[in-house]
């Protein structure tokens, strides 16, 4: 309690009155004193308030400062909630076939590394490891362990059994790091399309996976993109069809004593490659090294179906015939002069045997007459021939989404002489890959619109630019059908599927000039069903050689055609094509018999 | 009156402090729970991918072909041929399995072998 003081100092005023002094002075003095006291109080209050305010500001700035210091000093870190399952999605996306079956996926394994400084007994450790991994040498291991380095990788990925055995060695210096390993569960199936992968940058707790070839290299960035959220890459390949094609092709290659083989199966409307096989093949899980000497085309890594460009021979004749029909130069029944041999710029063009003085355009194709085709090409002319082949995509790379295709540029003469025109009309003097041929056949036979091959699944037809009219497309398919029914490809008949196609047997060019004698590349370019083309199948055998009916046979009619027919027999039902002439009664009996 | 207000505000401050602290604890607990679940999801995802890889490995065409060859006689299998095409409706289903949804009879719908998507899990 403060002492209460009267406002007026009555005692002193009374005293002053009594003594005759001026009481006003006393009162003023008193007032001034009171004012002074009041001012002091207010100042004190203001000062304390200022102090409080300063403290508050200081505390606030201190908080901000401390927070900033900790932020600057700490590792950057995402907010807890946003850091959702990042470890799950950081992996490389799977590759699946058109029905979602896995072609490439990741498997968590462990890598093995060593910190030699922590090894208790390097000698025993080296011996133990050499026993677990037969390809590691004990001496080499021991040298690494005693070389004084503090860290060394031993294996990129090891199996759980191996991990357990290494664990059982009980060495604290042998350590494991988690590793995502790229796994191709189907082994060599579609190896050339998938390519392969390897480890890139390695750290103890993870490693980059890099695609090195095929789809893996083409879509490397997309597959690694975390924003993809693990969504698999869907290819147009069909696993079962691919397996059937590879099995039949491998069997055919062995049977025909061929050194290599390739097959391309393509949907004519969408341009999707349903199956693409090249033999010999390899296991992408253990991708072989590229050849250091010799021809890369001999390596199993070489994709004959889309990397190899070959002179494919008579399969080109249908292009010449179709163009002549398209330009209204001939009708299928028009007779063509096929008297030979034809002499041209020092070369002699002959037929396999003499087909008589005149043949209809259809028969030129059915009997595969070189001379007749050259006559057709003469009518067409050089300019228009080039233009047509270009419109079929035979002068440029296919553009399929597999890296190797970039190098597969067709070879054709820079100076297109009359002789070039003549030989190219029946498929010599121009080199393309089987995939080029498949795309060109698809473009010709799907109603006449350009198709560009793709390895990614799509559901809509490609509305490409027009190559030939629908009528010519149907006529070409009918001619190809006749090649099978009456011509060089009679072994290509498959019950229930109207197979049409054209054979081609071309001498292989010798790299030193000229052509090899008796070394052929046999090709069968087929389409089925011919009355409503849906799929194109190209089968190529490299140097086939088989003794049949007491004679050595190398030409496509005896080698590539039966292989292609077997592929169609196996693959067409898998593709869901209902055979034409199969008796429904019989089918019913079969289905009820299997109950 | 003033004292009461002071007391009440002090009480409110204490209560709010307690509430905030409580919420903080709850949040931390939730975060820990989420982290645990995420770890579990990660592990399960890993297991799933291993199982998927194993499924694909066990179903690789090479192995199936071998198995088919081994059991060809025992299971009374027939080589696949175009003649075996049938219409879905003609198949007699076991009583315990329900046939797939009836589909109108059209050429495209007969294609069961190719159009059915295989889902491993």
B86 touches chain A (CB under 8 A): yes
What is the model's pLDDT at position A79? 63
- Indicate the pLDDT class of residue A591, thresholds 50, 70 and 90: very low
> From the CA of B103, how many Å to the nearest CA of chain A?
16
Q: Which residue of B has its CA nearest to A103?
A: B56
What is the Cα–Cα distance from A388 to A446, expressed in whole angstroms? 16
Q: Which residue of A has its CA nearest to B41?
A: A85
B67 touches chain A (CB under 8 A): no
What DSSP line would sit under A525-539, residue for residue? EEEESTTS--EEEEE
Domain membership flag for residue B15:
yes
Instruction: Please judge whether B118 and A99 are an interchain contact, meaning their C-beta atoms are less than 8 angstroms apart.
Output: yes
Instruction: Please judge whether A100 and B117 are an interchain contact, meaning their C-beta atoms are less than 8 angstroms apart.
Output: yes
Q: Which range is least confidently modeled, A104-113, B14-23, B96-105?
A: B96-105
Instruction: Please judge whether B49 and A186 are an interchain contact, meaning their C-beta atoms are less than 8 angstroms apart.
Output: no
B88 touches chain A (CB under 8 A): no
Instruction: Please judge whether A80 and B80 are an interchain contact, meaning their C-beta atoms are less than 8 angstroms apart.
Output: no
pLDDT over threshold 90, residue B106: no
Q: Which of A219, A202, A181, A187 is nearest to A91 (CA)?
A: A181
Q: What's the total number of domains in chain B?
A: 1
What is the model's pLDDT at position A582? 55
Burial A397-433 (b: 16+ CB within 10 A, else e): bbebbbbbbeebebebeeeeeebbbbbbbbbbbbbbb
B93 touches chain A (CB under 8 A): no
Over residues A411-460, the pLDDT tens digits come to: 999 898 888 899 999 998 899 999 999 999 999 999 999 999 999 999 88
pLDDT over threshold 90, residue B110: no
- Indicate the pLDDT class of residue A60, thresholds 50, 70 and 90: very high
> From the CA of A288, how many Å to the nearest CA of chain B?
21
- The H or E element containing residue B31 is helix B2-58
Query: Judging by DSSP bridges, how do beta strands A260-267 and A273-279 pair with one another?
Result: antiparallel
pLDDT over threshold 80, residue B17: yes
B36 touches chain A (CB under 8 A): no
Q: Which residues of A touch B57 (CB under 8 A)?
A: 183, 185
What is the Cα–Cα distance from A377 to A356, expressed in whole angstroms? 19
Domain with CATH 3.90.1310.10 in chain A: 92-234
What is the model's pLDDT at position B19? 97
Over residues B63-99, the pLDDT tens digits come to: 998 999 899 888 888 877 777 777 777 777 777 776 6
A563 or A87: which leads in pLDDT: A563
What is the Cα–Cα distance from A223 to A205, expressed in whole angstroms? 20
pLDDT over threshold 90, residue A123: no
Average pLDDT, chain A: 86
Computed on alpha carbons and rounded to an integer, the radius of gyration of chain A in Å comes to: 42
Instruction: Please judge whether A187 and B31 are an interchain contact, meaning their C-beta atoms are less than 8 angstroms apart.
Output: no
Instruction: Please judge whether B56 and A101 are an interchain contact, meaning their C-beta atoms are less than 8 angstroms apart.
Output: yes
Domain membership flag for residue B45:
yes
pLDDT over threshold 80, residue A260: yes
Residue in A186, A238, A494 closest to B60 by CB: A186
pLDDT over threshold 90, residue A162: no
What is the model's pLDDT at position A78? 66
Q: What percent of chain A shows pLDDT beyond 70?
A: 95
Tokens at A189, concatenated: 């199936």
What is the Cα–Cα distance from A397 to A409, expressed in whole angstroms? 5
Please state the three-class secondary structure of B76-116 as a single string.
CCCCCCHHHCCCHHHCCCCCCCCCCCCCCCCHHHHCHHHHC
What is the model's pLDDT at position B101? 60
Q: Which residue of A has its CA nearest to B54?
A: A185
Q: Which of B71, B115, B93 is nearest to A573 (CA)?
A: B115
Q: Which residue of B has its CA nearest to A183?
A: B53
Instruction: Please judge whether B81 and A569 are an interchain contact, meaning their C-beta atoms are less than 8 angstroms apart.
Output: yes
H helices present in A269-392, as ranges: 317-326, 361-367, 370-380, 382-391
pLDDT over threshold 80, residue A518: no
pLDDT over threshold 80, residue A149: yes
Q: Which residues of A touch B114 (CB under 8 A)?
A: 238, 574-576
Q: Which residues of A touch B38 (CB under 8 A)?
A: 83-85
B80 touches chain A (CB under 8 A): yes
Virtual CA dihedral for B54, B60, B66, B69, nearest 10 degrees?
120
Note down the domain range covering B78.
2-115
> From the CA of A177, how many Å to the nearest CA of chain B?
15
Q: Rounded mean pLDDT of A252-264?
A: 92
Domain membership flag for residue B121:
no
Q: Which residues of A touch B53 (CB under 8 A)?
A: 102, 105-107, 183, 185
Domain membership flag for residue B6:
yes
CA separation (Å) from A568 to A26, A212, A283, A493, A529?
131, 32, 26, 10, 10
Burial of A243 (0-12, 13-18, 19+ CB in 10 A): buried
Instruction: Please judge whether A102 and B34 are an interchain contact, meaning their C-beta atoms are less than 8 angstroms apart.
Output: no
For the domain made up of A240-283+303-574, the CATH class stated in words is: alpha beta
CB B120, CB A97: distance < 8 Å: no
Q: Which residue of A has its CA nearest to B43?
A: A88
B121 touches chain A (CB under 8 A): no
What is the model's pLDDT at position B113? 42
Find which of A186, A238, A285, A574 to mutate to test the B interface (most B CBs within 10 Å of its CB).
A186
Q: Rounded mean pLDDT of A274-294?
A: 87
pLDDT over threshold 60, residue A370: yes
Instruction: Please judge whether B35 and A80 are an interchain contact, meaning their C-beta atoms are less than 8 angstroms apart.
Output: yes
B81 touches chain A (CB under 8 A): yes
Question: How many residue pairs bridge chain A and chain B with CB atoms within 8 Å of each other?
Answer: 125
Over residues A61-86, the pLDDT tens digits come to: 999 999 999 988 888 776 655 454 44
Per-residue DSSP letter, A179: E
Domain with CATH 3.40.710.10 in chain A: 240-283+303-574
Q: Which residues of B touch A459 (CB under 8 A)?
A: none
- Indicate the pLDDT class of residue A338, thresholds 50, 70 and 90: confident
B42 touches chain A (CB under 8 A): yes
Instruction: Please judge whether B82 and A570 are an interchain contact, meaning their C-beta atoms are less than 8 angstroms apart.
Output: no
Task: Using the structure block, give the residue that is written with the tokens 């041999």.
Answer: A341
Q: Which residue of B has its CA nearest to A573?
A: B82
Q: Which residues of B touch A180 (CB under 8 A)?
A: none
What is the Cα–Cα distance from A572 to A580, expressed in whole angstroms? 12
What is the model's pLDDT at position A147? 83
Superfamily of domain A92-234: Penicillin-binding protein 2a (Domain 2) (3.90.1310.10)
Instruction: Please judge whether A592 and B92 are an interchain contact, meaning their C-beta atoms are less than 8 angstroms apart.
Output: yes
pTM over 0.80: no
Q: Which range is least confidently modeled, A227-241, A310-324, A443-457, B93-107?
A: B93-107
What is the Cα–Cα distance from A124 to A142, expressed in whole angstroms? 9
Residue in A80, A105, A576 closest to B114 by CB: A576
Q: Which of A231, A257, A232, A241 is nearest to A189 (CA)?
A: A241
What is the model's pLDDT at position A337? 87
Q: Rounded mean pLDDT of A12-33?
A: 85
Instruction: Please judge whether B115 and A85 are an interchain contact, meaning their C-beta atoms are less than 8 angstroms apart.
Output: no
């Amino acid at each position: 309690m403060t002492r209460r003081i009267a406002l007026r100092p009555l005692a002193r005023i009374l005293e002053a009155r009594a003594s005759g002094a001026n009481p006003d002075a006393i009162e003023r003095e008193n007032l001034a004193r009171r004012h002074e006291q009041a001012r002091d109080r207010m100042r004190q209050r203001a000062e304390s308030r200022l102090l409080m305010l300063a403290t508050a500001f200081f505390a606030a700035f201190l908080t901000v400062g401390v927070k900033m210091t900790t932020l600057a000093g700490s590792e950057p870190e995402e907010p807890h909630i946003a850091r959702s399952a990042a470890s799950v999605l950081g992996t490389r996306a799977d590759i699946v076939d058109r029905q979602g079956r896995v072609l490439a996926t990741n498997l968590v394994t462990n890598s093995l590394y060593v910190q030699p400084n922590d090894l208790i007994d390097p000698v025993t450790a080296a011996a133990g490891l050499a026993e677990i991994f037969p390809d590691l040498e004990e001496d080499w291991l021991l040298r690494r362990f005693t070389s004084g380095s503090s860290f060394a990788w031993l294996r990129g990925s090891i199996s759980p059994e191996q991990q357990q055995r290494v664990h059982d060695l009980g060495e604290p210096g042998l350590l494991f790091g988690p590793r995502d390993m790229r796994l191709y569960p189907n082994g060599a199936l579609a190896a050339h399309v998938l390519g392969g992968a390897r480890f890139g940058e390695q750290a103890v707790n993870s490693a980059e996976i890099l695609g090195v070839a095929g789809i893996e290299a083409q879509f490397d960035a997309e597959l690694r993109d975390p924003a993809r959220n693990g969504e698999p890459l869907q290819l147009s390949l069909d696993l079962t069809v691919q397996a059937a094609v590879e099995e039949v092709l491998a069997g055919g290659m062995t049977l025909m004593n061929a050194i290599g083989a390739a097959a391309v199966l393509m949907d004519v409307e969408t341009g999707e490659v349903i199956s693409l096989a090249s033999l010999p093949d390899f296991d992408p899980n253990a991708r072989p090294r590229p050849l250091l000497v010799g021809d890369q085309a001999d390596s199993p890594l070489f994709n004959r179906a889309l990397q190899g460009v070959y002179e494919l021979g008579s399969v080109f004749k249908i292009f010449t015939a179709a163009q002549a029909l398209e330009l209204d130069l001939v009708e299928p029944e028009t007779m063509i002069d096929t008297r030979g041999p034809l002499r041209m710029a020092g070369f002699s063009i002959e037929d396999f045997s003499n087909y008589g003085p005149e043949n209809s355009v259809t028969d030129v194709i059915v009997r595969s007459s070189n001379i007749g085709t050259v006559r057709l090409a003469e009518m067409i002319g050089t300019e228009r021939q080039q233009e047509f082949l270009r419109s079929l995509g035979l002068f440029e790379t296919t553009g399929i989404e597999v890296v190797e295709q970039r190098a597969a540029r067709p070879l054709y003469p820079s100076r297109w002489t009359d002789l070039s025109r003549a030989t190219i009309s029946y498929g010599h003097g121009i080199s393309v890959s089987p995939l080029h041929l498949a795309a060109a056949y698809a473009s010709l036979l799907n109603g006449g619109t350009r198709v560009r091959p793709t390895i990614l699944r799509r559901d809509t037809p490609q509305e490409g630019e027009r190559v030939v009219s629908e009528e010519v497309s149907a006529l070409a398919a009918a001619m190809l059908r006749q090649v099978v029914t009456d011509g060089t490809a009679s072994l290509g008949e498959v019950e229930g599927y109207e197979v049409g196609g054209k054979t081609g047997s071309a001498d292989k060019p010798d790299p030193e000039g000229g052509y090899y004698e008796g070394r052929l590349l046999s090709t069968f370019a087929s389409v089925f069903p011919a009355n409503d083309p849906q799929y194109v199948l190209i089968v190529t055998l490299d140097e086939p050689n088989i003794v049949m009916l007491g004679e050595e046979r190398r030409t496509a009619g005896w080698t590539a055609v039966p292989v292609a027919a077997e592929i169609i027999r196996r693959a067409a039902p898998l593709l869901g094509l209902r055979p034409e002439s199969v008796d429904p009664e019989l089918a019913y009996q079969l289905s009820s018999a299997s109950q | 009156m003033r004292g009461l207000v002071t007391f009440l505000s002090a009480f409110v401050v204490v209560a709010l402090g307690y509430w905030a602290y409580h919420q903080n604890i709850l949040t931390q607990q939730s975060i820990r729970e989420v982290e645990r679940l995420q770890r579990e999801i990660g592990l399960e995802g890993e297991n799933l991918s291993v199982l998927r890889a194993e499924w694909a490995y066990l179903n690789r065409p090479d192995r199936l072909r071998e198995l088919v060859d081994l059991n060809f006689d025992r299971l009374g299998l027939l080589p696949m041929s175009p003649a075996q095409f049938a219409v879905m409706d003609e198949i007699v289903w076991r009583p315990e399995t329900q046939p797939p949804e009836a589909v109108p009879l059209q050429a495209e719908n007969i294609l069961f072998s190719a159009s059915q998507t295989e889902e491993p899990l």
